[in-house]
Structure 1
Amino acid sequence: MGRGRKHFFDDLATLPWPVGLAVGVLGYMAIAHGIPWLFARSGGAFATIFGSATHPFMPLAWMFLGLCLIAAAVSFFGARRTRRLLDTRRGLDSLAALGWRDFERLVGEAYRRRGYTVEETGLGGADGGIDLILRRDGKRTLVQCKQWRREKVPVSVVREMYGLLAHHGADAVRIAALGGFTPEAARFADDKPIELIDGAMPLELIREVQPAGNVPSETARTFERSAAGPGAPPCPKCSAVMVRRTNRRTGEEFWGCSAFPVCKGSR
């Protein structure tokens, strides 16, 4: 089900909290002092009504400031929660345990730490659509996040995103999916500005921007190996857990290193 229509204060809560604070202060000054000053200049009854400190617009000014402060607080605590979520993810199971909305926020925060401007569009939802818009170097990239762990993303989803790419005049599309993609979806994405981030790659995307102290320990690697399923071998190059992947051209499955693209070991 898609998300409902957003309003001004909903949008304000998605921006960095200093923006909400600044908008609140500026709005308060305009409503409490700027507009009354303009009315007072006209003279007559307006000068009398708006010349006092208790003019009729004061309650509106305080209300606007209060709503902006609430939006700034929502933004501050939401951003802090997202940072903590990202910094504490250790394996694929920890990503799969998240709700779809938190997974979406997590991917957005990972790209934000890579230097992108990230917009949470509100055009997607639990069942698909545009979840994020990335901006950097004058280019726009549409992102859809699929948290599915036990289900591969079908070609219909990739086709839909390709259509949205043309409709919105974007430069590229990225689809992040824990469970990977069907061979048909992978073939459709070939030779198109579509990047499929599958298997353990979303986890690696997050790990690359985590603090240095969050590098997985051997205990964590052992846990991931058990989560990847029985018989998951260690990578022959770096000993990290390997995960099953699908060759996009042939449709054949193989073992790939969970640290890809940092490590490109395979079996």
Structure 2
Amino acid sequence: MHIEWAGEIMAKKNDGIIWHLMDAPWWLSLIVAAIVYISLSVVLPALAKGTGNLVFDAIAPNLSLIAPYLTFLFLVPTPIAFIKQFKRRRQFSSTTSEIAHRGTTEPLKSLTWLEFESYIGEFFKQQGYEVKQAFSQKPDGGVDIWMRKDGELTLVQCTHWKTRKVGIPILREMYAVMIEHSASKMIVVTSGDFTSEAVKYALDKKLWLINGGDLVNMIELAQHCRTEAKTKAELPAEPELICPSCHSTLVKRTAKRGDNKGRAFYGCSAYPRCRYTKNIGVM
């Protein structure tokens, strides 16, 4: 984990560090507590002795006395963070299973906006991203999730609107935030949909729009890929098919809606950025 990156996120919030540690990985509290204890009981008293400063000389002997109390304070978030993370992973698993079973956005709409943000963060973790998110009731400056993969920074804004559509004003704000932080792209995720004007606005920019339908398809695709990976070793190797549009790998999928419901087809693994499909048996 990049400690400096976590610090950058925390600096953008007005909540206290204890609250942030409750939403950070549980082991981070242990690291912070250890640093506090060593600093107060060993490092700072040693440094104070060499300064010749009367104030430091008076404070130094007391630092080791308060070290256990402050250390305990920073240990308090550890069990809370562990329980929160366990609940998030369990909710992610149950919601994903329900989405895969029903093939609709209804399970997403039943989540609160913080649960939706948590779900999106867990989803991208499953895709190999290093995810940082600081859950807060306060404004976040347009960034809900900070992610890194292959050395590139990606920002995510989650909009959990059940009736309204996301329009151009929000995308303009997100585009400015992306430029401000020199991110490779900004992903805007909504459980609903975008206006047609918003979709056109994002076409020539590094804005990746994911609506509720796209998200359901991405979840189903991820589930399918994980299932395939488990059984691949037991099956004879098949020639890898390449998407002629973007050169990503094609994967087998089954249509769950529309006129072709129940029919197998090949879909691009880069969906929704690439929507190429091919019927099974078509060369």
Normalization by structure 1: what TM-score?
Answer: 0.68
Equivalent residue, structure 1, for 2:16: 7
Q: Hey, what's the Cα distance between the residues in 2 that align with 1:169 and 1:123?
A: 23
C-alpha contact 2:37 2:71 (8 A) present in aligned 1: yes
Letter paired with 1:17:
W
Equivalent residue, structure 1, for 2:233: none
Equivalent residue, structure 1, for 2:252: none
Q: Give RMSD over aligned pairs.
A: 3.7
- The question of 1:70 aligning with 2:76 is answered yes
Letter paired with 2:262:
S
Deviation at 1:180, TM superposition (A): 0.7
- The question of 1:234 aligning with 2:247 is answered no
Instruction: Render the CA deviation track for 1:192-230: whole Å, top value 9, x for unaligned.
Output: 111110122223444555675xxxxxxxxxxxxxxxxxx
Q: Hey, what's the Cα distance between the residues in 2 that align with 1:124 and 1:75?
A: 17
Equivalent residue, structure 2, for 1:105: 118
Instruction: Render the CA deviation track for 1:165-185: whole Å, top value 9, x for unaligned.
Output: 112211111111111100000
Give the gaps of 5 or more residues in structure 1.
213-232, 241-259
- The question of 1:57 aligning with 2:78 is answered no
Distance 1:58 1:146, change over 3 A: same
Query: RCO greater where, 1 or 2, for CA within 8 Å and sep 6 or more?
Result: 1
Distance 1:24 1:208, change over 3 A: farther
Give the gaps of 5 or more residues in structure 2.
1-11, 100-104, 228-255, 264-270, 278-283
Deviation at 1:239, TM superposition (A): 3.0
C-alpha contact 1:128 1:144 (8 A) present in aligned 2: no
Q: Hey, what's the Cα distance between the residues in 2 that align with 1:172 and 1:40?
A: 50
Instruction: Render the CA deviation track for 1:66-101: whole Å, top value 9, x for unaligned.
Output: 122122223211211110111011132221111111
Deviation at 1:151, TM superposition (A): 1.7
Distance 1:197 1:132, change over 3 A: same
Distance 1:122 1:88, change over 3 A: closer
- The question of 1:79 aligning with 2:85 is answered yes
Deviation at 1:159, TM superposition (A): 1.2
Normalization by structure 2: what TM-score?
Answer: 0.65
C-alpha contact 1:174 1:195 (8 A) present in aligned 2: yes
Distance 1:102 1:137, change over 3 A: same
The 3-state SS of whatever aligns with 1:145 is strand
Deviation at 1:106, TM superposition (A): 0.8
Equivalent residue, structure 1, for 2:26: 17
- The question of 1:201 aligning with 2:214 is answered yes
Equivalent residue, structure 2, for 1:31: 40
C-alpha contact 1:110 1:209 (8 A) present in aligned 2: no
Distance 1:85 1:263, change over 3 A: farther
Letter paired with 2:151:
G
Q: How does 1:206-217 map to 2 (within 5 A)?
A: 206-208=219-221
